Amino acid sequence: MPLDTRLASTSRVSRALIITADDFGLHQRVNVAVERAHKHGVLSAASLMVGANAAADAIERARRTPDLRVGLHLVLADGQATLAATEIPSLVNRNGRFGDAMVRDGIRFFFLPHVRAQLEREIRAQFEAFAATGLALDHVNTHKHFHLHPTVLTIILKVGREFGMRAMRLPRENNIPAALVPWISLVNARLDRHGIAHNDRVIGINQSGRMDEAALIKALEHLHDGVTEIYLHPASADESAAPVTPSMAGYRPADELAALLSPRVAAAVRTTGALRGGFADVFAHATRVAHTS
């Protein structure tokens, strides 16, 4: 039965925890880590890059791991597009890759109608590619949190409705830069207005790529009430010690995988007493509580 997010208020969940791996499909090392961390650790969800090189491998692993909640990790910066470069020439280079000049691109999204049209086509293509996997859409988020941009969010809300999107990540973390607070508040209000379920807070932005055992345990020891999403970028170790991608050169993905597999972290998770799972699990529980109250 479809999840009615209009009833899935976070106030109905005293404490819930979603532990997510981003960049599922980026590399086989990431995919191996996601599968291991879910089967043998505390990972409950993963966010899939449908256009990435190892997406097919990720989808195969997700299909044989049915309890892993999988969402769509929309890539609109620093990654591979789903459509051919000839279809979205204003967004990507000749190899079909998005750049990382997000401020420049954000201005172009806002002011140039032809760029917005191409952006909508690409977002739709990524939703279509996810739908074609046959996996249940647990949540939606964006690479580098680009849905903070109002134009990007507008298109996601429009297109996502057609594909059953019911939950998104709200990138609100403690100690965020003051300049981001109004943007995050706007995202919060718009998600609520559109009936899209979301976490109350997130952990993983300030220590992106460095969410090791100590960082995870500290986060769990200070877990607030409401719905918290902790996200990481795990990957299996590589003998060459090469980063998964050049832009992740400072990341410690093997340490993050070790943290997800750590018995100490598992014990800390149990100590929180939090409801665990993906977004669908957490907000389905909230809906059931609302119906019985």
Q: pLDDT, tens digit, for every residue of 133-157? A: 999 999 999 999 999 999 999 999 9
CA distance 172 to 200: 7
Is the confidence at residue 3, as pLDDT, over 50?
A: no
Which tens digits make up the pLDDT trace of 41-94?
A: 999 999 999 999 999 999 999 999 999 999 999 999 999 999 999 999 999 999
The structure tokens 């980063």 sit at 243
CA distance 268 to 42: 10
Tokens of 265: 């972290």
What is the CATH architecture assignment of 10-292? Alpha-Beta Barrel (3.20)
Nearest partner of 125 among 85, 93, 94, judged by Cα: 85
Rg (CA), the chain: 18
The structure tokens 């999840």 sit at 3
60-40-284-202 Cα dihedral, nearest 10 degrees: -100
Is 264 in contact with 217 (CB distance < 8 Å)? yes
Which tens digits make up the pLDDT trace of 155-169?
A: 999 999 999 999 999
Domain residues of the chain, as ranges?
Answer: 10-292
CA distance 234 to 259: 9
